[in-house]
Amino acid sequence: MSLAQPFWLLLLLVLPLLVRHHYRRNRQRSLVLYLPQRPGLPVRASWRVWLRRWVPGMRWVVLALLALAMTRPQRQWQEQKIQAEAVDIMLALDISPSMLSRDFEPDRLQVAKRVASEFVEKRPYDRLGLVAFSAEAFTQCPLTTDRRVVQQFLRDLTVGRLEDGTAIGMGLATAINRLKDSPSKSKVVILLTDGENNEGYISPMAAAEMAQTLGIRVYTVGIGTNGIVMSPVRRYPDGTYDFAPRHMAFDTDLLVEMAEKTGGKFYRAWSENELKGIYDQIDRLEKTKIDVTTIRRTTEYFHWLVGAAVVILLLELMMRWVVLRSVTI
């Protein structure tokens, strides 16, 4: 709450002086008539006597309310109308057993999910979706503007839901299928994997050609270190894995070719910090065009004070003319 013209508050400082002067002058002019009283007879003041004492004060309340009204109390706030040319982004995430490798803490998959979730948080105006793949691919979350839903689906991703293997082409094709009918001017796939393509009936380059035809940019991210890494080597019936040192590598040339064919870029993440930096770069490259219109609104409250003053004034006049039958203060 604020006052548009606060200098009118000075009237409230003057008002007590006027009230004091008024009552002092009336006291000097008043004539007191004492009537004889029979001893022991109680004197009861009429209710009109009380009204005559308090009614004059109503006029001062009216003046105080009008002085407050002249300060124009108001509340101001602003609204923002945001128009954004959103980017449609599909995240394609490898969930093959090798993503449990422990060269990241606690493993590659957990780091990939955590960093991807942070990326989702930074895209409030875009539609995002999620595809998971290993030997096959499926849509974990279709395109949506609800970031919390995407982040929840990311948290729910686990290894072992599909057959073992890495079908990069299938993962990309599934993401493309979710984007092909999108009306957005900018469509993007961020594909993250740690292995070589060894499954699926759609080759990675065939999927990349589809993306190029549909105007979809593909950013490929290779996660993990080359060399000997503690990785899953055997899966038990209860779903747990046996780990052992294992040589790990992925097809860098393939990922580079896929990205370049679609106008995207290949990135290599050796650590969690590097992966965060990669998503930050993609975030800067895929800018959302935002047009923000700010509308400032003001609600005035002076009319409530004026209304209250009018009601009190009418009540005071009614008491003077009808109840007290007097027009003098």
**CATH code given to domain 87-287:** 3.40.50.410
What's residue 163's pLDDT?
Answer: 86
User: What is the DSSP annotation of 81-115?
Assistant: EEEEEPEEEEEEEE-SGGGG-TTSSS-HHHHHHHH
What is the pTM assigned to this prediction?
0.67
Measured CA to CA in angstroms, residue 33 lies from 25, 36, 185 at distances of: 18, 10, 94
Structure-token pair, residue 187: 């469509």
Our CA dihedral for 305, 311, 314, 316, rounded to 10 degrees, sits at -80
Measured CA to CA in angstroms, residue 11 lies from 266, 290, 320 at distances of: 73, 49, 26
Asked if omega into 56 is within 30° of 0 (cis), the reply is no
Burial class (CB in 10 A: 0-12, 13-18, 19+), 217: buried
pLDDT in single tens digits along all 329 residues of the chain? 777 777 777 777 777 777 676 666 666 555 444 455 555 545 555 555 556 666 667 776 777 788 788 888 888 777 666 666 789 999 999 999 999 999 999 999 999 999 999 999 999 889 999 999 999 999 999 999 999 999 999 999 999 888 889 999 999 999 999 999 988 889 999 999 998 888 889 999 999 999 999 999 999 999 998 788 999 988 888 888 899 998 887 789 999 999 999 999 999 999 999 999 999 999 988 876 656 566 677 788 788 888 888 887 787 777 777 665 644 44
Contact by Cβ (8 Å): 327, 321: yes
116-172 pLDDT, tens digit per residue, is: 999 999 998 899 999 999 999 999 999 999 999 999 999 999 998 888 899 999 999
Please give the share of the chain, as a percent, with pLDDT higher than 90.
47
Q: Where are the domains of the chain?
A: 2-26+44-75+298-323, 87-287
List 190's β-bridge partners, or say none.
Answer: 91, 219
- Measure the CA–CA gap between 250 and 257, rounded to whole angstroms: 13
